[in-house]
Amino acid sequence: MRPSVFPLLIAAVLTGAPLHAEAPLLTLELNAVAEQDSGCRITFVATNALAADISALVVEAVIFTPDGLVDRLALLDFQSLPQSRPRVRQFDLPGLTCDRIGQVLINAVGTCAGTGTGPGTGTGLDPAACAAAMTVYSRIETITISG
């Protein structure tokens, strides 16, 4: 006799456990790094799946060496992020070669503002709301990202 999933479903409903994982609403993907004459250029793909456009997004990033030492703090200005339209943003890290980046920590959201009305839209956007909606990940094997 096969075990029934019905008791598990009832337990999930009674405990308030989600039946499916919610999709991230604001995604920052570390997509590429490239050496430049002045240092390392990091490239992000940002996707805004919130209920409104983001007119300004600035995050504080901590750059760690592969040995786990803090190299620097940087403010990354993602500018405006229209709803449901991915945007590519590049940031130069002067005096740092790409092989000296081991981790990027999104330490805080300094600015997050948007447009729209009603719950979950631009008028409710603030740094805390954007931080709560944010998911980060890296496509670079040698660099981790967290937040």
Domain ranges of the chain: 23-146
pLDDT for res 116? 58
What confidence tens digit (pLDDT) does each residue in 31-90 have?
A: 999 999 999 999 999 999 998 899 999 999 999 999 999 999 999 999 999 999 999 999
Residues contacting residue 134 through CB under 8 Å, at least 6 positions apart = 24, 25, 26, 27, 28, 106, 109, 147
pLDDT, residue 133, reads: 94
pLDDT for 92 equals: 98
> What is the pLDDT of the chain when averaged over all its residues?
85
Interatomic CA distance for residues 82 and 130, integer angstroms: 14
Mean pLDDT of 91-95: 98
23-146 adopts what CATH topology? Immunoglobulin-like (2.60.40)
Tokens of 126: 């603030």
Sheet containing 39-48: order of strands: 87-94, 39-48, 26-35, 134-138
Q: Which two tokens stand for residue 96?
A: 């740092």
Q: How far apart are CA 26 and CA 44, in angstroms?
A: 13
Task: Check residue 114 and give its pLDDT.
Answer: 87
